[in-house]
Structure 1
Amino acid sequence: MTEGWIDVAAQADLPDNDVIAVKAGGREIALYSVDGEVYATDNICTHGHARLCDGFLEGGEIECPLHQGRFDVRTGKAMCAPLTDDLRSFPVRIVDARVIVQID
């Protein structure tokens, strides 16, 4: 496997149109399944210390469970107030039905 790529989950463990938390490279990552595609971001909101895996995923946006700010899970972009900082997002590959995330 190429350096920096970490096997984090079986693709079957990620329910359709939902989010789960996994550990990768010493950090907690949120994995999202959106219309058959898988995305990964940091799991902690940039506004308050909330786990995004406890939020509400609708389409390509995750809503923080604390203050209802939303991020685009495909890019990590903060979409509305009170958020001002984007989330870190990570490249994802599916290899042999496993979710592989690149952490540098």
Structure 2
Amino acid sequence: MWTPVAKLGEFQNGRLVVKRPEHRKPILLLYTGEEVFALEDVCTHDDGPLHEGEVEDGAIVCPRHGARFDLRTGRQTLPAPRPVKVFPARLEGDTVLLDL
């Protein structure tokens, strides 16, 4: 079920962190100007905040130890031991919807 979670006007530099009561981890939304990506905002290595990292080549880089997480799949590089959860995201007008 698609759930509206944000408006594009809420984003700062293409990023927004949202908290949903049904998820214990916050969700990072990234808007590239064309697409919206949504993934858990917590590095699986040491619970670092991914929203503080840089986006490079379709991945977000954890600012603490450099683990990379693919924006589409959540797949990771070391030192992160496992991927992050990703959520299907889409835009309708200026509303971001997630399939939670």
Short-chain TM bin: 0.7 to 0.9
Structure 1 gaps of 5+ residues are none
Q: CA deviation at 1:99?
A: 0.2
Q: Structure 1 runs of 4+ off > 6 angstroms? A: none
For residue 12 of structure 1, give the secondary structure of its aligned residue in structure 2.
helix
- The 2-side partners of 1:67 and 1:8 are apart by 30
Deviates more, 1:24-33 or 1:38-47: 24-33
User: In structure 2, do the counterparts of structure 1 residues 25 and 102 end up closer, same or farther at CA, with 3 Å as the change threshold?
Assistant: farther
**Partner residue of 2:78 out of 81, 89, 103:** 81
Query: In the comparison of the two structures, how many residue pairs are matched?
Result: 98
Match of 2:55 in 1: 57
Identity of aligned residues (%): 33
Q: 2:38·2:89 contact (CA, 8 Å) conserved in 1? A: yes
TM-score (norm 1): 0.81
Aligned-residue Cα RMSD (Å) equals 1.8
AA aligned opposite 1:65: P
Q: Is the 8 A contact 1:34 1:59 kept in 2?
A: no
SS at match of 2:30: strand
Q: 1:19 aligns with which of 15, 29, 52?
A: 15
> Of the candidates 85, 90, 100, which is equivalent to residue 97 of structure 2?
100
Whether contact under 8 Å (1:62, 1:70) holds in the other structure is yes
Q: Kindly provide the amino acid, as one letter, of the partner of residue 17 in structure 2.
A: A
Q: CA deviation at 1:41?
A: 0.5
- State the shift of 1:13 in Å: 2.8
Query: Does the aligned pair in 2 maintain the 1:15–1:33 contact within 8 Å?
Result: no
Q: Find the counterpart in structure 2 of residue 70 from structure 1.
A: 68
Runs of 5+ unmatched residues, structure 2:
none
